[in-house]
A and B are shown apart, each in its own frame.
Chain A
């Protein structure tokens, strides 16, 4: 009886969904190199897990959020204070956003320090850098939506920085703000970017990222302990899925802990006529913000642009080092110096 039902259901499926089931089998049996059993090398999935959390909690928050200057703050307050578990969902969304940026940076560091961006994976590295910038844009637009004093003024500063881009800065800033000042139009634009444009972009980039990982494969790195092993790979399903499940569980525990211990709270309502003592963007813009204070606005823009371009095209810069010396460690030393400077600038900005 059961076998009969199974046959008729699979027959119906084959007819209505003409996709060869072998594809799924093949996809799930993808061989994964042994080095990815090491936790530090299995973190590439964590930004994707966090993105899933963002998507889910973001949809729930959007049910109540009103992107209007008169109602935005109140709607966030309502989510925080009145809606059942609203405070929890908002807190998870907030912490997951922070962790997502952190996870993207850690993943990027892993790829950078192991030279996994080298040929033929240059394009995928560049897509990865694009994903990092998109994630940061998510952070910037989402933060401003709260419409509390500190987040409002972060948007103002963001627009001012954009305005200092040579030639086209003023136009970019006006486009961002939807006028001469941060107001109703800005909020609508940031909202559309946050829940429409950026998710589309990130889905496309993620799709490409995964596609290239699958078609080109991940860089095979071999630890000393794995050298004598006969089997150089392990299957995606169930082994790697199992690892990722553990990563997802640990992330969930940390997120819940942070949401319960440090729940998202409400600052003062945004007041365009009162500049607060401390105007700060989100932490991942601190190095740039520090640069802004050290140099002129143009200097900061140029510095950041040079940094981003260097990061984006590093696979080609690295090639120059390798050409000179195939065993060159220049990339690693540049990486250490880069991370140290970024962390130092971030702490410096927090202290002042």
Chain B
């Protein structure tokens, strides 16, 4: 055999060996870390923390959960997040020779996750506490439902757990922050434990990353699942979870959850998964054309939580904020939709959404708001104390309950809730409860000598009930509708 041929044999055999070893490396690598999870990196700074906090009766799961986290695999340990600065962090305390804080704030997370921090701080999520501070909702929760004597129980365990608390400390007699016998800073139980989305932290930052990224595993896969958002986005006044569940999106999610590759790093819709969208897919996650965003408003064009709907950019302007134009945000969302739906589908969906919102606003929201303003301005009901008049409860249910369900139902494609818990109950409340209550207030006003105000309110009510949307109620049905009814 020629030497040239032998050379080729040596090369061929070497490559076969190398290729074989690469196959071996691939399979054995998977076996060495069966769940793709290398062992945690516990450096000398964190060794002691992990040592104690993996023991029974000492928050054992904290350490064990951390060991399973990506943080642990990358060597991001306890002190990287919990370390505090003396003189700067008011909640800092000395703990086994380290100066630490119990609460990890978004500012702490921003040491590594700066972009996410900035996006989150600009979002409505981070202001969830601020927007209800001193609001009618706050009054409802603290005064109407509860009482300060009982530690604001309904607010602390209800609203604040989603909207966030303003974290406060227990104080000693001298007004200094109280410490326990181990020197640990004592947080006010009225304000902590709390992982509310808009929590106001001792360092001034807003929010809590743990609201979505549960401690101490900080799993992306967990944050991407709708159950994560459902801690807060459910119930009669914001039934997003229920709406998602009955939508085609939610049905597909339940049927194909295992095919979603939830652990993928970037998790791009249409690339890493195609089986179903979750809340995160539409509102936050990446598409082939967009990066992931931690500002949940970046793809929303409407604000549907108020008595009357508003375009999101107008709403933000009214709050002194300056975000993306609503049109651009709608384009962002349409880009997500287009990964699964054709353009006409998306265009027509948005027409359906805008029509649904216009129906609510023009038939119920705006007229009811005008009436309530008139009743208050004319002194027919008290102006400064919410919920002390029966009609205020009815109005509250009208816009915050049925009104939101109808609008959000259209937006999230949940037909049953849109119809029976939305528009049907909206009409029922409007005609059977709200209008009779308005009439009663007007009659009461007349009896109390407020005849001028009562007349103004009556005139407004008459004009609303004689409008194209409501005149059917007094038998004024046009011929076309009559003909349609006969079919």
A residues whose Cβ falls under 8 Å from a Cβ of B: 35, 38, 40-41, 77-78, 80-82, 102, 105-106, 109-110, 113-114, 150, 221-224, 262, 265-268, 277-278, 280, 283, 286, 329, 332, 335-336, 339-340, 343-344, 346-347, 349-351
Contacts and interface: CB of A to CB of B under 8 A. Distances in A.
Contacts of B14: 40, 106, 109
A312 B16 CA distance: 23
Nearest to A268: B39
A110 B31 CA distance: 33
Contacts of B133: none
B42 A347 contact: no
Given A110-B10, A267-B33, A343-B16, 9 more contacts: A81-B43, A102-B17, A150-B32, A283-B25, A332-B6, A339-B17, A346-B24, A347-B20, A347-B24
A283 B42 contact: no
A340 B17 CA distance: 8
B20 A265 contact: no
B17 to A, nearest CB: 6
Contacts of B4: 223-224
Contact of B27 (A81, A344, A350): A350
A339 B31 contact: no
A-B pairs, top 10 by smallest CB distance, nearest first, are A266-B39, A350-B24, A343-B20, A265-B38, A350-B27, A81-B41, A339-B13, A106-B14, A81-B43, A283-B24
B485 interface: no
B20 A109 contact: no
Contacts of B75: 81
B69 to A, nearest CB: 15
B308 to A, nearest CB: 57
A113 B28 contact: no
Interface string B1-39: 111101101110110111011011101110111100011
27 contacts: A40-B10, A77-B42, A102-B17, A102-B18, A102-B21, A106-B17, A110-B10, A113-B9, A113-B10, A113-B13, A114-B6, A222-B3, A223-B3, A223-B4, A224-B2, A224-B3, A265-B33, A280-B28, A286-B24, A329-B1, A343-B20, A344-B20, A346-B20, A346-B24, A347-B20, A347-B24, A350-B27
Contact of A40 (B1, B11, B17, B31): B11
A105 B477 CA distance: 94
A81 B41 CA distance: 6
Contacts of B27: 350-351
A339 B42 contact: no
A286 to B, nearest CB: 7
Nearest to A340: B16
Contacts of B44: 78, 82
A335 B29 CA distance: 29
A254 to B, nearest CB: 12
B15 to A, nearest CB: 10
B32 A82 contact: no
A332 B32 contact: no
A336 B13 contact: yes
A114 B8 CA distance: 11
Contacts of B33: 265, 267
Nearest to A266: B39
A262 B4 CA distance: 36
B42 A81 contact: yes
A346 B39 contact: no
Given A81-B41, A81-B43, A350-B24, A221 B3 contact: yes
Contacts of B9: 113, 332, 335-336
Contact of A350 (B1, B18, B28): B28
Given A113-B9, A340-B16, A267 B32 contact: yes
Given A110-B10, A113-B9, A343-B20, A283 B28 contact: yes
A266 B38 contact: yes
A119 B9 CA distance: 22
A102 B21 CA distance: 9
Contact of A347 (B13, B23, B39): B23
A98 B3 CA distance: 29
Contacts of A40: 7, 10-11, 14
A40 B31 CA distance: 34
Contacts of A278: 31
B11 A80 contact: no
Given A224-B4, A332-B6, A80 B24 contact: no
A14 B14 CA distance: 48
B27 to A, nearest CB: 5
